[in-house]
Amino acid sequence: MSRKILVLNGPNLNLLGTREPEIYGAETLDDVEAACAALAAELSLTLDFQQSNHEGQLVTWIQEARGTADAIVINPAAYTHTSVAILDALSVFDGPVIEVHISNIHRRESFRHHSYVSARADGVIAGCGTHGYLLALRQIAHMLG
């Protein structure tokens, strides 16, 4: 049976590949989704890849994942550093959660060093560029067995 993975992207990640390539690389979010879809097929995972600029939409998707998804990969973007609401929603999700950051948040401004989401995440990948999403999917496949 194919496992379903929800991949969530937070605010401004729709701009990926259009600005700040020195921080976030040249790939667009569509490129990232295509790479994730190719790897998911290889790993026999079904992918639901989403992006929103709205905190409430991300919370709703996480709530809906209860009973419909086996695991969540999330790059909460700026909400990483502010959102107790996303942490609370993830805390009532039962499956594995992997937090991804394209940049190494610990080598950047001090306000990026704290993540609310990390308190719930089973694993955190930061600073591996967009390849971090693929590492997260491999980790999910490993955890789901």
Among 83, 126, 131, 82, smallest CA distance to 105 is for: 126
Q: How far is the CB of 141 from ligand CA2 (least distance, A)?
A: 21
Q: How far is the CB of 116 from ligand CA2 (least distance, A)?
A: 12
**Is 114 a known active-site residue?**
no
Radius of gyration of the chain (CA): 14
Strand order in the sheet with 123-126: 45-51, 3-9, 71-75, 97-101, 123-126
Q: Binding residues for ligand CA2, how many (CB under 6 A)? A: 16
DSSP state of 107: G
- Which one of 54, 79, 81, 101 is the catalytic residue? 101
Tell which positions 60-119 bind ligand CA2, by CB under 6 A.
75, 77-78, 80, 101-103, 105, 112
Q: Which of 6, 7, 13, 65 binds ligand CA2 (CB under 6 A)?
A: 13
Closer of 47 and 75 to ligand CA2 (Cβ):
75
Q: Answer yes or no: are the C-beta atoms of 4 and 68 closer than 8 Å.
A: yes
CA 92, CA 12: separation in Å to the nearest integer? 26
Report if residue 15 touches ligand CA2, rule: CB under 6 A: yes
3-state secondary structure 60-76: HHHHHHCCCCCEEEEEC
Would you please indicate which residues are annotated as catalytic (active-site) residues? 24, 101
- Contacts with ligand CA2, residue ranges (CB under 6 A): 12-13, 15-16, 19-20, 24, 75, 77-78, 80, 101-103, 105, 112
